[in-house]
Amino acid sequence: MNKLPYERPFIQKLNLGVMNKFGSKTELEPCTHIDGVPVKKLIEEYGSPCFVISEQKIRNNYKNAVRAFKTRYPKIQFAWSYKTNYLDAVCNIFHQEGSWAEVVSIFEYQKAIHNGVPGDKIIFNGPDKSKEDLAIAISNNSLIHIDHFDELYDLVELVQGRSLKVRVAIRVNMDTGVRPIWDRFGFNYENGQAWNAVTKIMSHPELDLVGLHAHIGTYMLVSSAYAVAANKLCDLMQQVQNRWNQDIQYLDFGGGFASTNTLKGAYLQASDVIPSIDEYAEAITATVLNFGFKQDKLPTIFLETGRALIDDAAYLLGTVVATKRLSDERRATVMDFGVNILFTSFWYDHQISPAQHFSRHSENMTLYGPLCMNIDVVRENVMLPLLNKGDQVVVHKVGAYNMTQWMQFIQMRPKVILIDMNGRHHVIREHESLETMLRYEHVPAHLKTISL
């Protein structure tokens, strides 16, 4: 006799009247393939957990963003925000598509140089640039975005009296109507700090003020904030023109476009509430176009879009380690990945799909990671099919900030796989091992031996 497929026994209390009218079915669709490659095969070959990135998706996202801006404005330049995901393979996809590099530390700067980005196509942002860092950027003719007066004075010391024309911009912070105001980086627009910085720069002929930069926040839910920012940068640009007859060549609007991940605790799914890339593009380009600059004086618009270009291009594959009951009868599922490699589960309710077909039953559960730490919660509440030890899942939209902010804590970091345009897969970052860790440690002679 052929045996029947087994499903574990399951009982659920019916809570009449509290059904979510938006339904919660989506997470129950199995995700068995990524770009045509079976999830099972990927886990078999590369282990669990592992990150999987779709080259196709990155290129499509990038092309779509470029289209949204270029169909509205003649001079557009994207610069890939390294901190979002600085795996070389990922950066080079963006660079192949024409993106420059945007970096916020000398480490990221060196990575961009290593990837072959010409120095004059690197935007150097960030609050921590040493004099040595600045000297390197000067010698490479990079675009230096000054964050504070201490940096500006360091720069002045470096260039004073030399026959140089160092290309600089200032980062401007401002009130765009969105709270909280990001006033921690750059010079404030409203209180005149930005103008003072401009004045100081203009008094040094060795410095060439070529741009103005504003990164107004991240995951911006209203596109109109960019219109406010654009208006203020245009106004500053106009004042510089009036006062010194200096043409600002570009306005850089930083990053901040929302990805389709749903923020923790949000009532509505992100895809129903976030502005589209076209709406952001419209807010920025319409404001700059309508400001009144002469056609030949229009600034180039720079964009440092991060999460919106990469989040949905990456997946985290993982496996159920155990299922248990909490003291209040809630189901708990322990996964082999946690906040150690999925840092963004602190911000997002990541969508999670089973990687195999399931019966129609589902249950509410808390998803924990493998760390022996209370903070290690991947989802506090998620409806998933009856998962068993060994079952595989796919976490969606994990491309931004995870593969840079992940931590080696209790567990090692796993492999990262790229699926190329032809469906071939490549390891683009190896998993860590005990050896990786020991390479950086030194044990003094008197501590080399122990006897227990």
Asked if 4 touches other proteins (CB under 8 A), the answer is yes
Report how far residue 10's alpha carbon sits from residue 329's, in angstroms, rounded to the nearest whole number.
13
Q: Which of 183, 278, 171 is nearest to 223 (CA)?
A: 278
Burial of 441 (0-12, 13-18, 19+ CB in 10 A): exposed
What φ, ψ does residue 94 adopt, rounded to 5°? -65, -45
CB of 186 to ligand PLP, least distance (A): 9
CB of 5 to other proteins, least distance (A): 6
Question: Residues 378-407: x/- map of binding to ligand PLP (CB under 6 A)?
Answer: ----------------------x-------
CB-based contact 312:110 (threshold 8 Å): no
Member of 57, 215, 396, 397 binding ligand PLP (CB under 6 A): 215
Stretch that binds other proteins, among 9-17, 77-85, 158-166, 207-215 (CB under 8 A): 9-17
The residues pairing with 348 across neighbouring beta strands, listed in sequence order, are: 263
CA geometry: angle at 146 spanning 210 and 161, to 5°? 75
CB of 84 to ligand PLP, least distance (A): 5
In 3-state terms, what secondary structure has residue 350? Answer: coil
Report how far residue 304's alpha carbon sits from residue 77's, in angstroms, rounded to the nearest whole number.
9
Interaction partner, residue 16 (ligand PLP, other proteins, none; CB < 5-8 Å by kind): other proteins
Question: Residues 92-111: x/- map of binding to ligand PLP (CB under 6 A)?
Answer: ----------x---------
The CA distances from residue 206 to 137, 141, 158, 160, 375, in Å, are 14, 13, 10, 7, 51
Interaction partner, residue 325 (ligand PLP, other proteins, none; CB < 5-8 Å by kind): other proteins
The full 3-state SS of 108-170, as one line of letters, equals HHHHHHHCCCCHHHEEECCCCCCHHHHHHHHHCCCEEEECCHHHHHHHHHHHCCCCCCEEEEE
CB of 277 to other proteins, least distance (A): 43
Burial of 89 (0-12, 13-18, 19+ CB in 10 A): middle
Q: Which of 10, 22, 84 is nearest to 311 (CA)?
A: 84
- Tell me whether residue 81 or residue 223 sits nearer to ligand PLP (CB atom): 81
Would you call the peptide bond into 275 cis, given omega within 30 degrees of 0 as the criterion?
Answer: no
Asked if 257 touches ligand PLP (CB under 6 A), the answer is yes
Total residues in contact with other proteins, by rule CB under 8 A:
18
Member of 48, 84, 173, 176 binding ligand PLP (CB under 6 A): 84
* Other Cβ atoms closer than 10 A to 244: 14
Site for other proteins in 15-34 (CB under 8 A): 16
Q: Which of 237, 231, 226 is nearest to 275 (CA)?
A: 226
Member of 131, 243, 361, 426 binding other proteins (CB under 8 A): 361
Question: Residues 327-346: x/- map of binding to other proteins (CB under 8 A)?
Answer: --x-----------------
The residues pairing with 257 across neighbouring beta strands, listed in sequence order, are: 220
State which amino acid sits at residue 445.
A
Asked if 306 touches ligand PLP (CB under 6 A), the answer is yes
Interaction partner, residue 211 (ligand PLP, other proteins, none; CB < 5-8 Å by kind): none
CB-based contact 393:353 (threshold 8 Å): yes
Interaction partner, residue 7 (ligand PLP, other proteins, none; CB < 5-8 Å by kind): other proteins
Stretch that binds ligand PLP, among 25-33, 236-244, 255-263, 286-294 (CB under 6 A): 255-263
CB-based contact 61:308 (threshold 8 Å): yes
Stretch that binds other proteins, among 6-14, 54-62, 67-75, 415-423 (CB under 8 A): 6-14
Interaction partner, residue 3 (other proteins, ligand PLP, none; CB < 5-8 Å by kind): other proteins
CB of 364 to other proteins, least distance (A): 13
Which residues of the shown chain bind other proteins in the complex (CB under 8 A)?
3-14, 16, 325, 329, 359, 361, 388
